[in-house]
Amino acid sequence: MLNLIIFGPPGAGKGTQSAKLIERYHLVHISTGDIFREHIQNDTELGKKVKNIMASGQLVPDSITIEMLEHEVKKNPNAKGVIFDGFPRTVPQAEALDNFLQSMNQKVNIVVQLDVNEEELRTRIAERRKVSGRADDAEEKLMKRMDEYFNKTIHVLPYYEQQNIVTKVNGIGLIDDIFDQLCEAIDPLV
């Protein structure tokens, strides 16, 4: 069982690389952003709760996010492994994930960090804005998301660095080259 976290700021390419990783390693992809968007689309109770929070670029409260995440993991009891994309985004979320995995005799095996500078992120999201239709890709919402990242999510990194499981990869360059670097870090674990 391989539990992999793909980590990086909005626009770092987590979704793009996750799609390639799933194919190669046959992992279940759990993207908390995608799941929240699905709930909003289907107008579920959870979707109603998180719609405005998400549209404003803020983080959804930990309690809601953690509950949803655990539910998603439990839905896939036979998974070969999981890619966590967009989770954890706070230290309490990281602690909750550790406890949850421990209760199933598992752990986070590797955190791959996509390193991309802020200027490049802004350029990428400005491009994505034209096609994504995402309310939170608007300029002022993006600023809020970056704030959330640099105030809260960035602290998740030292949490895992202490465990010696972080591999940092340059997230600028050709998609396939970045993918190759990720595979180099992951292959020894599978």
For binding to ligand ADP (CB under 6 A), which residues are involved? Answer: 10, 32-33, 36, 53-54, 57-60, 65, 86-87, 89, 93, 136, 145
CB 30 within 8 A of CB 72: yes
Q: Give the integer Cα–Cα distance in Å for 172 and 12.
A: 8
Question: At closest approach, how far in Å is the CB of 70 from ligand ADP?
Answer: 12
Q: If phi over 0 gives left and psi between -120 and 50 gives alpha, with beta otherwise, what is residue 11?
A: left
Question: At closest approach, how far in Å is the CB of 13 from ligand ADP?
Answer: 10
Name the residue among 29, 72, 37, 30 with its Cα closest to residue 54.
37
Query: Nearer Cβ to ligand ADP, position 157 or 190?
Result: 157
Query: Nearer Cβ to ligand ADP, position 111 or 145?
Result: 145
Question: At closest approach, how far in Å is the CB of 7 from ligand ADP?
Answer: 10
Question: At closest approach, how far in Å is the CB of 149 from ligand ADP?
Answer: 8
Query: Nearer Cβ to ligand ADP, position 139 or 184?
Result: 139
- Between the CA of residue 18 and those of 11, 22, 25, 26, 75, what are the distances in Å? 13, 6, 10, 11, 19
